[in-house]
Amino acid sequence: MKLWFFSPMEEGGMLPRQIGRLSVKVGDLVSVRYRVQHGADEGIEWEPPLHGFIFEAPKDPDHMWRMWCLETGSVHILAPRLDKIEVINEGR
Assess whether pLDDT exceeds 50 at residue 1.
no
- pLDDT value at residue 4: 41
- What is the model's pTM? 0.70
- pLDDT value at residue 19: 38
In a domain, 24, yes or no: yes
Instruction: Give the count of domains, the chain.
Output: 1
pLDDT one-digit tens code per residue, 14-51: 333 333 456 788 999 999 999 887 666 677 789 999 99
- pLDDT value at residue 32: 95
29 lies in which domain range? Answer: 2-8+18-89
In a domain, 84, yes or no: yes
Residue 26: CB atoms within 10 A of its CB come to 13
CATH number, domain of 69, equals: 2.30.30
In a domain, 46, yes or no: yes
Assess whether pLDDT exceeds 60 at residue 2.
no
d(CA 56, CA 13): 29
In a domain, 13, yes or no: no
Burial of 9 (0-12, 13-18, 19+ CB in 10 A): middle
- Are the beta carbons of 37 and 23 closer than 8 angstroms? no
In a domain, 80, yes or no: yes
Report the candidate in 64, 59, 62, 58 with the shortest Cα–Cα distance to residue 18.
62
